[in-house]
Amino acid sequence: MPETFRPKRRNLLEMKTIKGTEATYLFIRTEDGSYHAFVEVEGTQAALDCGAKREKGKNQRALCKQIWDKS
């Protein structure tokens, strides 16, 4: 049975970071009024968790770029 694909929504996104009492959050609001919240984590930890390979001399930016370029 062939898969059916729903077209991606093409809404305007607004983003705002807000400091909470326990973390910093990234809130995204879509044009239709939906809200989504994400917790900020340290970039190196996120990159390693997503499969970046730690190598001598690689900084956070290089680790994140590995993941960004793979996706």
Q: 37-48 burial, b for 16+ CB within 10 Å, e for fewer? A: eeeeeeebeebe
The whole-model pTM stands at 0.57
Model pLDDT, residue 10? 64
What lies within 8 Å, CB to CB, of 6 at 6+ separation is none
The 3-state DSSP class for residue 53 equals coil
The answer to whether the beta carbons of residues 15 and 27 sit under 8 Å apart is: yes
CA distances from 65 to 15, 48, 56 (A): 22, 11, 15
Q: For residue range 25-66, list pLDDT tens digits in order.
A: 999 998 888 999 999 888 899 999 999 998 888 899 999 999
For residues 3 and 32, the model is more confident at 32
Model pLDDT, residue 57? 84
φ/ψ (deg, to 5) at 46? -65, -45
